[in-house]
Structure 1
């Protein structure tokens, strides 16, 4: 078997087998192991040199053996070695796939048709073509049964599934991507880094109207429970983004501030609730009641109704 494979092919095959096993065993992430770890490159280079050295030694031993043979045996050995890599197996596969008769047997399949000395052979269809045709018939039958009889998922169904998955992925991403927040998805931020950032924005842009302690000046008092446009995080965010009442009140800040910055300053504004400013402005608006939070009385009534039902 060794005579059938040239030495350079043997070296490459063994080397790439070792290379593949090395990459499989050593988990290096996205980069190949021989790039991520220089020692792996040195190891593979050493393996390649050893394989070349082994083949060189075997070749030298063969030459030594040839020197000990007589002329006839030497010629026979060289002839076998020269004709060993003719890939007779490949030619046999080709003949089976083509299915043509050898030239010496063409006399059995010559038809009576003769056109200016050109004769026609009655060859069978090539097996590769015939098997391919049968495969298309089998594929067509399976396709018809799956999609037209059993109504399997088609490309439109797959597209709808992928679009639904994409929409869910976008929504999940929006929950963690603070800068994509809007009035519908904003939540009150409680981390110190966000509140400190909100304080900086407030002191830069808002103290002229609301005072540093939120007691109010031109703008309303932010420390009492009275609100003109609502006092939860969504309403405060919307007021900062879109501005206050038409014709008066605060300007829209959505051109100057990013969504995350508006969420930060809105969260910081809500921290003024319940504090005592130095010079509080008189209340404006109505007492804000968050309708999404049930009072103890409402909770008790709901419990009684549930137990009664």
Structure 2
């Protein structure tokens, strides 16, 4: 059986089968396992050496066996080995599909006419062509019934259906792929892991301007209810991503932070609302009201804003 496939084909095939099994069994993320884990590369290299060594040993044993054979047995063995390498079964299949008569039998199908010594053979169509023609007829009949009698979907309808399915699949994927978040899909993150990650980003990048407790220094106070560019998770995410006001304010962080990281730090910023910093900076901007909030909540916020305005006017009059 091993003579049916030469060693220069057998060894690579076995090696790549083992390689595929290793890649399937080992979870290495986006990178191949042999790149992510050097031990896997070493293992595959050893496997290749073992396969080559086995082939070399088998070849050496065959040579020893040939030396012990008599001339007739040796000739018979070599003939069988060489004939196996010729892949006769492939040639037989090709001959059956190609059809035609052997050269020694062409005299049976030579036509009577002769043009300047050129003769013509009455060959039948090759079987592969005949079978393909029959298959095309069956396919045409099925296609006719499916799309012209039973009104199967057109190419445009199939395209629209696949696009709709792809859109739904993308939306489902975005629900679990946090790193694809943008201004339209960002939501307030409440998991402890996300808030801890947001706090770490805050401590690394934001405390220089806003202080660790969010009280504000160069940047505004993040603990009060006044916002320069709007509050809420979407506005805060947008401000972190695109930066503050033109010519002044915070830089755009979208080149330094991933979308998930911006969502995490934006969520952490919102947890600072209502806390009491050590040295809070004076309020800047305006009280922000969430238009998407329920009506009662919005009315409460508006009432609070009116009370603050009234108190401010009273203080100014007293002064």
Q: Same fold (TM over 0.5)?
A: yes
Counterpart Cα distance in 2 of 1:213 and 1:95: 83
Q: Give the deviation of 1:224 after TM superposition.
A: 4.6
257, 260, 265: which one pairs with 2:253?
257
1:176 match: 178
Alignment of 1:58-73 (within 5 A): 58-62=65-69, 65-66=70-71
Whether 2:198 is the aligned partner of 1:194: answer yes
Counterpart Cα distance in 1 of 2:18 and 2:199: 51
Counterpart Cα distance in 1 of 2:106 and 2:198: 89
User: RMSD of the TM alignment (CA)?
Assistant: 5.1
Counterpart Cα distance in 1 of 2:144 and 2:271: 64
Distance 1:228 1:261, change over 3 A: closer
Whether 2:163 is the aligned partner of 1:156: answer no
2:170 match: 167
Q: Give the deviation of 1:265 after TM superposition.
A: 6.0
Bigger Rg, which one: 1
44, 52, 58: which one pairs with 1:45?
52
Whether 2:276 is the aligned partner of 1:275: answer yes
Counterpart Cα distance in 1 of 2:284 and 2:278: 13
1:302 match: none
Whether 2:62 is the aligned partner of 1:55: answer yes
Distance 1:14 1:146, change over 3 A: same
Whether 2:209 is the aligned partner of 1:205: answer yes
Contact kept? 1:201, 1:265, Cα under 8 Å = no
Distance 1:119 1:291, change over 3 A: closer
What are the Cα deviations for residues 254-294 of structure 1, in whole angstroms up to 9, with x where unaligned? x4433645862673364151426557758985586896479
List runs of 5+ in structure 2 lacking aligned partners: 27-31, 298-319
Contact kept? 1:201, 1:261, Cα under 8 Å = no
2:312 match: none
Distance 1:107 1:162, change over 3 A: same
> TM-score scaled to structure 1, two decimals?
0.59
What are the Cα deviations for residues 199-227 of structure 1, in whole angstroms up to 9, with x where unaligned? 554442346xxx976289996x6545566
Distance 1:40 1:52, change over 3 A: same
What are the Cα deviations for residues 235-271 of structure 1, in whole angstroms up to 9, with x where unaligned? 4445665757x9xxx9553x44336458626733641
SS at match of 1:257: coil
- Answer with 10-19 or 91-100: which moved more: 10-19
1:69 match: none
1:125 match: 125
SS at match of 2:120: strand
Contact kept? 1:223, 1:273, Cα under 8 Å = yes
What are the Cα deviations for residues 173-207 of structure 1, in whole angstroms up to 9, with x where unaligned? 7x5228x5436515257623422432554442346
Counterpart Cα distance in 2 of 1:232 and 1:278: 24
Distance 1:131 1:252, change over 3 A: same
Alignment of 1:72-151 (within 5 A): 74=72, 78=75, 85=83, 92-103=92-103, 105-148=105-148, 149=150, 151=152
